Amino acid sequence: MTNMKKLLMFAAAGLLTPAAAHAEIRTASTSTVIPAPTNDKAPVSGTPARLRRTNEEQAGNEMPTLAFFDDGKSGLYFAMTTELNGQAAPRRVQLSLVPFSLVQDPATGAVSAQADLANAKFVTNNNGNEYRNANHPAAFPVFDGKLIAVEYNYQPNNSNDTKRYIQVFNKQGQAVLPQTEIFAKNNDDASMNGDAKSSIARKLTDTKWQIVGWRGANGNGRDDGWVSGAELTCNTELTQCSLQKTFDLSLCPREERSHGTVSFVGSDPNTVIASWTEGNSQPQRDGVWVAAVNVGPGQNGANAQNRLLWKKNIAGRVTINGAQHYAMRMMHEQIMDVDKTTGKLVPTDYIIARYGVLRGNNNTNGKGGTYTENRVGVYRATAAGLEEVVKPVDISDVVLGTDGTHLGMRFALFGTTNALVPGFTFLQGSHTGGGRSGQVRAVTFDMATGKFANAGVYDVAPYDRHLYPNYLGNNPGNQGRNYANGTFIANPFVGQNGNTDAHLMIFATTGKDPSQMMDPAVKLAAYISVLPVTQTPNVVPGEPEEPGTPEEPGTPEEPGTPEEPGTPGGTDEAGTALGGCSTTGSTGGLATFLLIGLAAFLRRRR
């Protein structure tokens, strides 16, 4: 597809907007949701004391997730927790539920999160192998945010098969669907997920919602990665619900750590886009993939392969400086637009896809290899196929200091509400326990040039991506690493008490409190961070805004070392980074292009 066709396509989709006023990403507010356990201490040894590797000890708080109710202010926070309000979890660790609300400081207008620990509780009472009684939870709203669902993994003690379960809660924190199996494969340890959107939901009728999820099943059975569908049916009062599995199909026949992501197509919610990494080895050697699945009327039951619409390999093995590298840790985020009438976020048909280019093997206490490149591209993904809009390029120079280990990616908008610029955030944690701020890297995408730009690095609450979950998990020193969670929302307090922040990034992390970093016996606490990322425009009455300066079209990149025969993808490197939203330079070819940039682009082509 030519650049002109791509740009016209974006314009037709409503994704090219007028010039953006200068905007800043603000300072994040951080709040403790669950303090570090006071009675449950980590094993230590030596003088001075150091954390001791201990099998199945558990990290205090890990793998947090959250979701909001329909008021946009209140929600539920879940984590794997060993102690709540001084009370130990049954059998070492269970899934905790903590209600929380966004609140506003009346003096400054700043928004922060406030946990309701008085109503916190454990919502599982499982007896699992390795004490992983609610592993890898993922929360998401259903029934238009009137209810919140949470999924998690559980393998009963003395068994050898992990299964995926779900519960659904109302605003009072009461379960309207008790623990119910949502996915399982015989002797296949399901399900392995990424830290992005592994489960999504949509409305079918007033009383029925569909849940679609990525299910990595890495065990001794089929050993595949699946997409599955289920229907959640509730009474009209939303006081009682039931779940019915409907279908599943295999997309990844060589499963090891597929870490899949799913999203509904904006123009066609009967189609789901899935992305994952394939391969039975570490590192995985069979590339990164994208597929489309029909989740509307069609074949039901297990192995419903007729639902597969298409499947495409994006990148595979590549030689860089004479060394073999592999495309891994595929993830995608859907580009969202804002409905001009309602102000609500609406999905588009476009996705931002990211994967790492990695060399090396899993090396026990270290990392699973070394990331050489961090590639990002843009696609239009529908039931009809996958259209490359911006070829994936290495943005390592744009995100200097950011590596690929358990890197959380979330879509975001930046700029001002009259000219929003799409992009994403990378959340990077500490490999040594936290004890300092987690790092959020903001990246903008310029539709006019197809370039990604650095929009700054911002501090959030501590995030231990590795140490305590690894040292105190199963196979200590090798497995048991942590995840975080994040979501992009409209600010419910915009315009109140002088607040001009229109959208917020909300992050859930667990890590060491900085004041407790020198005591290795203290386990991890759980946090929420609120990071304002867009504002309402600051326009002087009677004074029109100056239009943005059009960007020059990007210079074609030199190709990198060719891929091995039969493997797609290139090794292009990103060009010079453009100014981000927190800089004084032009921030949005996306924002300026429709009014000015398109005409300039046409003139240059003559």
Backbone angles phi, psi at 118, to 5 degrees: -65, -25
Retrieve residue 531's tokens.
Answer: 């990071």
- pLDDT at res. 226: 95
Closest residue by Cα to residue 357 from 399, 333, 400, 323: 323
Contact, 147 vs 141, CB < 8 A? yes
pTM over 0.85: yes
Does 363 score more than 80 pLDDT?
no
- pLDDT at res. 558: 41
Which residues on adjacent β-strands are paired with residue 50? 45
Mean pLDDT (whole number) for 331-351: 92
Task: Report the percentage of the chain scoring pLDDT > 90.
Answer: 67
Instruction: Return mean pLDDT, the chain.
Output: 85
Q: Which residues contact 599 (CB under 8 A, 6 or more apart)?
A: none
Q: Quick one: DSSP state of residue 296?
A: S
- pLDDT at res. 365: 43
The residue ranges of DSSP E strands in 383-437, in sequence order, are 385-394, 408-416, 419-428
Does 550 score more than 80 pLDDT?
no
Q: Give the pLDDT confidence of 289-332 residue by residue, as tens digits.
A: 999 999 999 999 999 999 999 999 999 988 888 888 999 899 99
* pLDDT tier, 401 (very low <50, low <70, confident <90, very high otherwise): confident
Helix (H) / strand (E) element for 591: namely helix 589-592
Backbone angles phi, psi at 599, to 5 degrees: -65, -40
Mean pLDDT (whole number) for 334-342: 91
116-119: which pairs have CB atoms within 8 A and are 24 or more residues apart? 117/34, 117/84, 117/85, 119/173
Q: Which residue matches tokens 């489309």?
A: 292
- pLDDT at res. 553: 38
Q: Give the pLDDT confidence of 50-100 residue by residue, as tens digits.
A: 999 999 999 999 999 999 999 999 999 999 999 999 999 999 999 999 999
Q: Give the pLDDT confidence of 495-529 residue by residue, as tens digits.
A: 999 999 999 999 999 999 999 999 999 999 999 99
* pLDDT tier, 197 (very low <50, low <70, confident <90, very high otherwise): confident
Mean pLDDT (whole number) for 223-245: 97
- pLDDT at res. 13: 53
Does 574 score more than 50 pLDDT?
no
Retrieve residue 101's tokens.
Answer: 């609300």
Does 172 score more than 50 pLDDT?
yes
Contact, 76 vs 120, CB < 8 A? no
Stronger pLDDT, 544 or 208, i.e. the higher one = 208
Does 216 score more than 50 pLDDT?
yes
Give dist(CA 95, CA 133) in Å, integer: 7
* pLDDT tier, 541 (very low <50, low <70, confident <90, very high otherwise): low
Give dist(CA 4, CA 137) in Å, integer: 43
Backbone angles phi, psi at 312, to 5 degrees: -140, 135
Does 353 score more than 70 pLDDT?
yes
Q: Quick one: DSSP state of residue 605?
A: H
Q: From the CA atom positions of the chain, what is the Rg in Å?
A: 23
- pLDDT at res. 280: 84
- pLDDT at res. 567: 39
Contact, 82 vs 523, CB < 8 A? yes
Per mean pLDDT, which of 108-112, 219-223, 473-477, 567-571 is the most reliable?
108-112
- pLDDT at res. 321: 87
Does 606 score more than 60 pLDDT?
no
- pLDDT at res. 542: 56
- pLDDT at res. 498: 95
* pLDDT tier, 535 (very low <50, low <70, confident <90, very high otherwise): very high
- pLDDT at res. 362: 53
Give dist(CA 76, CA 171) in Å, integer: 8
In a 3-state reduction of DSSP, which class is residue 66?
strand
Retrieve residue 585's tokens.
Answer: 């330079």
Q: Hey, where are the domains in the chain?
A: 3-538+547-605
Per mean pLDDT, which of 30-44, 352-366, 478-492, 592-606 is the most reliable?
30-44
- pLDDT at res. 342: 87
Contact, 526 vs 81, CB < 8 A? yes
- pLDDT at res. 448: 83
- Give the largest Cα separation in the chain, rounded: 74
- pLDDT at res. 577: 26
Task: Report the percentage of the chain scoring pLDDT > 70.
Answer: 83
The Cβ of residue 206 has, within 10 Å, a number of other Cβ atoms equal to 10
